[in-house]
């Protein structure tokens, strides 16, 4: 073990006693003797802090030293590691992490928003103090994706990271299809069950997934995380109708976060995708997360596991604490900030892919000829064509899929198609991802 302090305990403070904070405490308490053997030293919880001391929780925290002001943990000489479980990219969480790092305390957090927005500044502080800033739990809950890229696949040049990174969205999409209900109804239920926040926009609008993609991009390609260069589209426009069409074509609809690097640059995007029902990603159900990592020597590696919840996320938090206890000490983004490459980002226009397009039309006999004429103009080749039965008072729904083409061309074609007289609804497009 690389532990200069021998068998002295690692003294940990936990700020924020929500779901993940409590899960972390549960593991540290339940497995304390095993963890001590595995780390070569004990891990001790020396203080906790939360907004409401007496709130009903799944675990008993009454025997732990309670501190009203979390910021006081950052200057407490009895604390080695501050575990930030407050959340949010600004305010108390940010101040606590900054101050702790400046004061020479290692920080473990599950806060993806904070790392996505301020990761570089915080990494600089950690490097300057020679302490650890670790955030395994920020991406994909119980799946150790960050450590896999940093350690297990460290010998590789990465080319594509792609995954289902938000359990709430995957739960909603899975449940919509299984129970044949529409988005708003399932969202309401998810909120009642506690799977979705009362303000669900971070999840369903794809922002949470984008935070995670920006972190994975940084780890994969050795650059600063960038939330400015990422295309984001959520799942709120996905309808059961599109799911039925997708199913008929052999696909299921998933919200994917995708980051690729090619000669043109890095492309980061979050949007709903049609993926094969039989593919690894297509079979990921409910709150599970999954990630594909493509690299030059290891090839394609796939990881699946629980993406959220007290226990899986707590498992990742404690793994980070164990790294510190064991003396395993990486830079926050593996590379030191000075070694980051200045990366070029590419937009969606240059994306090359296949597309699903649904059109609500009045006159079905003429429209297909007009659409294929437009496709031909933009050098787009039709792959499949599908038409569902429809109620007498509804528009006819035509569904087309294309072979691979450039997104810029596809968007121009859709603009032209939208102007056709017989097309009476806004055309709805979903990208098809071959996985």
Q: How many CA atoms lie within 13 A of 263 on its CB side?
A: 0
Taking the C-alpha atoms of residue 194 and residue 178, their distance in angstroms, rounded to an integer, is: 19
59 binds a second copy (CB under 8 A): no
Decide: is 198 part of the binding site for a second copy (CB under 8 A): no
Active site residue 124: no
Given 94, 147, 212, 254, which residue is catalytic?
212
Among 91-99, 197-205, 223-231, 319-327, which window interacts with a second copy (CB under 8 A)?
319-327
Residues 6+ apart with CB under 8 A from 400: 356, 357, 358, 359, 371, 382, 384, 385, 386
Cα R_g (the chain), whole angstroms: 24
**Binding to a second copy by residue 1, rule CB under 8 A?**
yes
Out of 49, 168, 170, 316, name the contact with a second copy by CB under 8 A. Answer: 316
Question: According to CB under 8 A, which one of 33, 52, 60, 155 is a site residue for a second copy?
Answer: 155
Q: Are 135 and 146 in contact (CB under 8 A)?
A: yes
Stretch that binds a second copy, among 231-239, 260-268, 301-309, 347-355 (CB under 8 A): 301-309
Residue with Cβ nearer a second copy (123 or 270): 123
Q: Give the residue, chosen from 16, 142, 234, 257, that forms a contact with a second copy under the rule CB under 8 A.
A: 142
Q: How many CB atoms are closer than 10 A to CB 153?
A: 16
Of 200 and 305, which has the nearer Cβ to a second copy? Answer: 305
Compute the distance between CA of residue 347 and CA of residue 231 in angstroms, rounded to an integer. 8
**Tokens found for residue 362:** 């009045």
Interactions with a second copy, residue window 321-380 (CB under 8 A) = 322-323, 326-331, 334-335, 339
Q: How many CA atoms lie within 13 A of 230 on its CB side?
A: 30
Residues 160, 301: contact at Cβ < 8 Å?
Answer: no
Site string for a second copy, 21-40 (x = CB under 8 A): --x---x---x--xx-xx--
Residues 253-272, one symbol each (x = binds a second copy by CB under 8 A, - = not), give: --------------------
- The yes or no reply on residue 286 touching a second copy (CB under 8 A) is no
């Amino acid at each position: 073990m690389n532990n200069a302090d021998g068998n002295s305990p690692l003294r940990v403070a936990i700020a924020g006693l929500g779901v993940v904070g409590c899960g972390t405490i549960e593991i540290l308490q339940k497995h304390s003797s095993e963890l001590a053997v595995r780390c070569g030293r004990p891990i001790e919880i020396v203080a906790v802090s939360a907004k409401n001391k007496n709130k009903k929780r799944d675990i008993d925290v009454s025997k732990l030293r309670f501190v009203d002001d979390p910021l006081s943990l950052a200057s407490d000489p009895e604390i080695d590691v501050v575990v930030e479980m407050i959340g949010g990219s600004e305010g108390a969480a940010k101040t606590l992490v900054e101050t702790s790092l400046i004061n020479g305390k290692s920080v473990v957090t599950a806060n993806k928003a904070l790392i996505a927005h301020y990761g570089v500044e915080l990494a600089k502080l950690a490097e300057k103090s020679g302490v650890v800033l670790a955030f395994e739990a920020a991406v994909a809950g119980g799946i150790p994706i960050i450590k896999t890229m940093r350690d297990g696949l460290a010998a590789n040049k990465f080319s594509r990271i792609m995954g289902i990174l938000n359990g709430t969205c995957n739960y909603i999409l899975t449940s919509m299809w299984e129970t044949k209900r529409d988005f708003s109804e399932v969202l309401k239920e998810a909120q009642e069950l506690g799977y979705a926040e009362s303000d669900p926009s971070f999840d369903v609008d794809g922002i949470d997934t984008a935070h995670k993609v920006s972190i994975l991009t940084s780890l994969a390609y050795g650059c600063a995380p960038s939330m400015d260069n990422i295309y984001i589209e959520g799942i709120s426009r996905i309808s059961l109708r599109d799911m039925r069409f997708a199913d008929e074509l052999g696909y299921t609809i998933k919200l994917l976060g995708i980051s690729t690097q090619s000669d043109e640059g890095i492309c980061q995007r979050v949007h709903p995708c049609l993926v094969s029902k039989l593919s690894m990603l297509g079979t990921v159900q409910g709150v599970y997360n999954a990630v594909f990592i493509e690299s030059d020597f290891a090839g394609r590696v796939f990881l699946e596991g629980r993406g959220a919840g007290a226990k899986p996320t707590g498992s990742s938090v404690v793994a980070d604490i164990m790294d510190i206890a064991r003396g395993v000490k990486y830079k926050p983004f593996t590379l030191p900030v000075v070694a980051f490459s200045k990366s070029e980002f590419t937009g969606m226009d240059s994306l090359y892919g296949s597309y699903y397009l649904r059109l609500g039309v009045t006159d079905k006999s003429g429209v297909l000829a007009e659409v294929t004429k437009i496709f031909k103009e933009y050098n787009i080749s039709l792959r499949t064509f599908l038409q569902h039965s429809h109620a007498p008072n509804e528009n006819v729904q035509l569904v087309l899929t294309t072979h691979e083409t450039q997104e810029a061309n596809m968007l121009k074609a859709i603009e032209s198609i939208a102007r056709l007289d017989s097309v009476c609804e806004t055309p709805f497009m979903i990208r098809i991802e071959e996985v």
